[in-house]
Every structure is written in C-alpha cells, then in structure tokens.
A and B are shown apart, each in its own frame.
Chain A
Amino acid sequence: MTELNLKLNKNTSGRYGEYGGQYIPETLMNELDRMTKAYEHYKNDPEFKTELHDLLVDYANRPSLLYYAERMTKDLGGAQIYLKREDLNHTGAHKINNVIGQALLAKHMGKTRLIAETGAGQHGVATATIAAYFGMECEIFMGKKDTDRQRLNVYRMELLGAKVHPVTSGSMVLKDAINAALQDWTKRVDDTFYLMGSATGPHPYPLMVRDFQSVISQESKVQLKEKTGKLPDMVVACVGGGSNAIGSFANYIDDPSVQLVGAEAAGKGVETELTAATVERGSDGIFHGMKSMFLQNKTGQINPVYSISAGLDYPGVGPEHAYLAKTGRAQYVGITDDEAVDAFEYIAKTEGIVAAIESCHAVAYVRKIAPKMRKDQIIVCTLSGRGDKDVASIAKYRGVDIDE
C-alpha cells in the first residue's frame, strides 16, 4: 500500500461552490483556525504521513479487500460487481480511517481529550478505540433514541474506556448529538479535540474527513486496475452525512467516465415525512456550521428525520455532496427501509456477508441497476461496515423474537 495522498483535493478554501464555510459560534473560531493551520501543516509533514500510513496498515488492517462478488454478479445478470470491503477494517467500518487521521492530528496539536458524536455508534466506537490506543480521555455524545436501539455499541464504547452521554434534547438522534458535542466543545476547547465523524460541519472538517476517507478510492482504483485493467463504470456508496461516499468518490471525481451514485435513506419513502433523503427532498440552508442541503420547513426549522438506519438518520449532507449533486457530477437516489432490509438478507444469503444496514442501502441500488447494465461494465460498491450490530433490529423488523 502506498502512502495516502492528502493533497488530492487542490481546493482547500473550505468552499465547494456556494456550499461549505464556517457558520459556527465565535467561541470556536480560533480553535477551528488552529485546526485548519495544523492540518495544512501536518499533511505535508513526512513524519505525520508515515505515522498515519503505519496506523492504517498495522492497526486498521488496510488495504481493505476489493472483492469480486461473483455470485451476486451472476444472479443479477448484468454489470460485474466489486465490493470494497470497509466492513473488514478494525472496528468493522470505514469510520476508523477518519478517526486515525483526526486523532493523530489531535495528538500533534497537544490535545488530551477527544469528544465525538455518533448515530449508529460506529463512529463512537472508532473514536473510543483510537482514544484507547493513544491513551486519551474520550466522551461520546449519542441521541437517547440511538443509545436505546444500539445498546451493544454503547457497551462497546464503555468497554473501550469512553464515557457515553445519552442526549435527551430535541429529537434525541444524531443531529441532537452533534448539537450537544458542539456545546460541550464551546465550554472546553483548550485540551479538547472534537473528532467529527462525517464529511459535514464547518471547514476544515469536510476537507479533512474527505482526505482521510479518500483511502477507500485510492485503494479501489489501484486494486481494480490490477484485477481488470479498467476504471469502474459506476461507484455506489450510501450517504448519511456522506463520509464513506465522499471517500469512495474522491479519486474518481476527475474521471468523467465513472458515474458516482450516493444511496440516501428514503425511510418509508422519499415522498413521505418519514425520510432522511436530503438531496432529493431537501433544500439549501445553513446548519451545523455549513451551508449545504437540509431537510427543513419553509421557515428554516430543521425537520425530524427517519430511517431504519441510525447511521443515515441525519437531516443534512456534507457540503461537497451538495456541490456534486448541484453540478450533476454525482447522482443521489433514495432507498427505502424495505429495500435496504431486503438487500441485507440478499447479500447475506448470496455472498455470505452480513453488511451494515447503512451499506445495504448501496447494495439495494446495485440490485436495481446492475441488471440494466452490460456484462462488460463494472460497479464498485462500498460496504461501509459490517452488520452484526443490526441483526437484532432486522429480526425485529421481520417480526422475529430473539433474545439479545
């Protein structure tokens, strides 16, 4: 594995067209500025880059496999399907890529305490893991509804030495966890680094998260070339805030022949109120430090959102995704709960892979589109995480009573 290229993104302004920016209280501005400068410095620092590389290889188990899903390909009868197996990373999801990068930056900035928000718990677990590794204090903010539906991950974070705060304000899900984490940070910026989990929030987060997650497409591009000598025709990834998707897209954005597709959580349906399909249903707005697209009402109040997947349950999307959607470089499609659950069962039975319900939104889209493509065409689909955490809730969805 070659070192991760942290300078793929030439645009370091924090703006993606009109999107992005730093719409955040004054209390945090100096700290964000310090973070931006530190990141710009360390991404050119050979020692930092070597440390990052070693951690990605020796701790996170990279590179992750690019796996040819032969049975799925045959069954669907169209495009060849390759799965980028982020589920095989240490901690079981792509989230580790980003937390290694940000925690390493925090360490170099002299920070001793990490805080983070989490939805499904994957980012919380990844943050707690890296905090344990670096011997840092760690506090995780998680909506009360999510702590209830992801009890296993709560316990896992505690096992790793983190303190988990169930957030009871607002709708008690991911966006409220972000509010609470930001509020905690305004009280204590000196020793604390807010390790944001998605490609969202104020600059420099969308840039850093994209850079650290771009390892996904840096690897897949090389791996596919080795296997087939070609570029993919399509890259598919699920989108909540959009970190695994932006990482999956990053190295292909300048290859116009590669179609980029983000699978959003449509919940009960894009046209219903029970949805989290931001790009399809949302509109431009300013929230959580960024100008981007959000699900909101006419006055500008942020809507409650819904998805079976706690990891996609977010009323916004990262600013670069808003830009890719607006310019037409990437397409965003809604996948319902039903379709995602069907895909969860399908990939388990067809390939023997229990993938995260979030990732199964991408798999569901592949099931729809692959049969319509030619057999010489190639899809790379990112499996962002493994699905052990979802088994109990899928059983419940199917009306099966199991003892946890």
Chain B
Amino acid sequence: MSKLTDAFKNQKAFIPFVAANDPDFEGTVNNVVALAKGGADIVELGIPFSDPIADGPVIQAADLRALKADPDLPMDTIFDMVKEIHQQTDVPLAFLTYLNIVFQYGYDAFTARCEELGIYGLVIPDMPLEERDELEPIAAKHHVDLIPLVTPISGDRIEKIAAAATGFIYVVSSLGVTGERSEFANGLADLVNRIRKVTDVPTAIGFGIHTPEQATEMAQIADGAIVGSACVNIVAEYGRQAPAKLTDYTKQMKAAVNAHPVR
C-alpha cells in the first residue's frame, strides 16, 4: 500500500508545507525535521517555481525568496536536501511543484530519484486529469503517487478524478489561490462524500486553513488537513528560529485534527 495512504491509518492526518531553499539548504532540512518532530503525518515540500499560478502571495513570496537565494536552484540540490532530511527523520514526503520542473529533469529520471530518496507523491497543480497520462505510468513504475486536486466546482469530474487517484486526494477548500482564509466553500462534505463513494483513497482538505479550529472543522469532513501559507509565514517571520515554532504549531494542529469539535 502507498506510504502516503498509510499515513491516514486509524487517525486524521496533518500535512504541513514548506518551500525548499527558503531560507536556504540547512534551513529547509531543519524546518522539515521540525515539522516531523511536531507530529506531521506527511510533509509537503514545495519546489520553487518562477511562476506559481496556483499559489497566493505568501507561497509566491517564498518561491521568490528561494530562487533569489539561488536563481538556478538545481533539482539535484533539492534531492540532496531530501537525502539530508531522511537521515534525520522517516516522515513521508511529497513534492508540490509545477509540471515544467519535472518535465525538464525528465519524467523517468525525476520519479526514479523520488523512489530512491523516499518521495512518495507529487502534487502538481498544473497537471489536470486530462494531462496526467504522460507522467502517470512512469510515476507508477517508480511507486510515486500523483496526488490529484479536486475543487468545489469540479462537478462531474469528481468521480473521474477520484477513480484514478492513489496516495491521497487534495480537496481544494475554496476557489482562487492558496492563502489563509476565514471562510470555505459550502458543500465540502458533499464533495468528500462523492469521492468516498468511488474510492477508499483518503482525502485531505487544503487552501486557507491556518487556525486549530479550522483544522478541527475540516478534519470532521475529510481525513486530514493540509496547511501551507501559515507554515510559510512562520518561516518568513522567524528565520533561523522557525524550527521550534514549526514544531509547536504542528503539535497544536495535529491535536486539532484529531480533536472533537466544540459546539
């Protein structure tokens, strides 16, 4: 069974995100290890892209910081970060990036490296169901899950996307780009129920979640919660002191996803 699916077993999963090379190589390693220490079930590591069209201002800024520090930022440097991370923790990792980064490295070479280094999944916002065939068989050969996104307006695409999914399904909480929000789309529970009718692959809700209350609420609906911008904000604000803060925040959020809601 997929290592990512395993992370949802018997509990709700908390999945934080940080961007690679924000602020630098060592900082990235320390931040991911800190998230694991706080109890993260999966860590999403963002590979910076010059033009992240699905991301809001916070993650865009993180990508720009990372690329400003190293404009070329070779993929092999990021693979080295992963190697370093996995010497300190065995937390399952997934990459979030845009398809061009994977395409330039070569689909086979990229997913082979992922398999070798323990990257179990790829979240690629600009690769919808219709375009996944060029990568899916290659990724499957290397046991790398392609994590699909489902949105509140996916409509009759929901079942098709769910049926093809492995690892977990990324449920987008609301329209627009990533970033903290105070409100989510209506009908998320219906959306998750429609997915569950088609597949046992777990679901995690992301886009906009930042408070423990929101995490609790979302984990009542789905099997886990994904938090990006809030973690990236901690990295931006605390720099070298971010790891301790990330551990604390993860502990809090991890407890929140497994808490019963206070009514």
Residues of A in contact with B (beta carbons under 8 Å apart): 21-27, 29-30, 169-170, 175-176, 179, 182-183, 186-189, 284-289, 294, 296-302
* B104 & A300 in contact (Cβ 8 Å cutoff): yes
Interface residues, chain B, CB within 8 Å of chain A?
48-51, 53-54, 57, 60, 64, 67, 71-75, 98-101, 103-105, 125-131, 148-151, 153-155, 157, 161, 172, 175-177
On whether the beta carbons of B53 and A30 are closer than 8 Å, the reply is no
Shortest CB-to-CB span from B150 to chain A, Å, is: 7
A26–B150 touching, CB < 8 Å? yes
CB distance B175 to A189 under 8 Å? yes
Query: Which residue of A23, A30, A187, A301 contacts B50 across the interface (Cβ within 8 Å)?
Result: A301
Task: State whether A21 and B60 are in contact (beta carbons under 8 Å apart), knowing that A300-B103, A301-B50 are contacts in the complex.
Answer: no
Contact of A299 among B57, B104, B128 (CB under 8 A): B104
Chain B residues contacting A301 (CB-CB under 8 Å) are 48-50, 67, 71-73
Cβ-closest 4 pairs across A and B: A300-B104, A187-B176, A301-B50, A300-B100
Q: Are B72 and A299 in contact (CB under 8 A)?
A: yes
B103 with A186: CB separation less than 8 A: no
Interchain CB contact under 8 A, A302 and B128: no
* Other-chain contact of A285, B53, B104, B127 (Cβ < 8 Å): B104
A–B pairs, 28, beta carbons within 8 Å: A22-B130, A22-B131, A23-B127, A25-B54, A25-B125, A26-B151, A26-B157, A29-B128, A29-B130, A30-B154, A183-B53, A186-B176, A187-B176, A284-B103, A285-B100, A285-B104, A287-B51, A288-B53, A297-B72, A298-B72, A299-B73, A299-B105, A300-B98, A300-B100, A300-B104, A301-B48, A301-B71, A302-B100
Chain B residues whose C-beta falls within 8 Å of the C-beta of A297 in the assembled complex? 71-72
Which of B71, B75, B157, B177 meets A29, CB within 8 Å? B157
State whether B128 touches A24 (Cβ < 8 A).
Answer: yes
Contact A25 B71 (CB under 8 A): no
Contacts of B101 in A (CB 8 A): 299-300
Contacts of B49 in A (CB 8 A): 300-301
What are the residues of chain A within 8 A of B51 when measuring CB–CB?
A: 170, 175-176, 179, 287-288, 302
Enumerate chain B residues within 8 angstroms of A179, measured Cβ to Cβ: 51, 53
Minimum CB–CB distance from A371 to chain B (whole Å) comes to 41
**Beta-carbon contact of B175 and A186 below 8 Å:** yes
Would you call A23 and B60 a contact (CB within 8 A)?
A: no
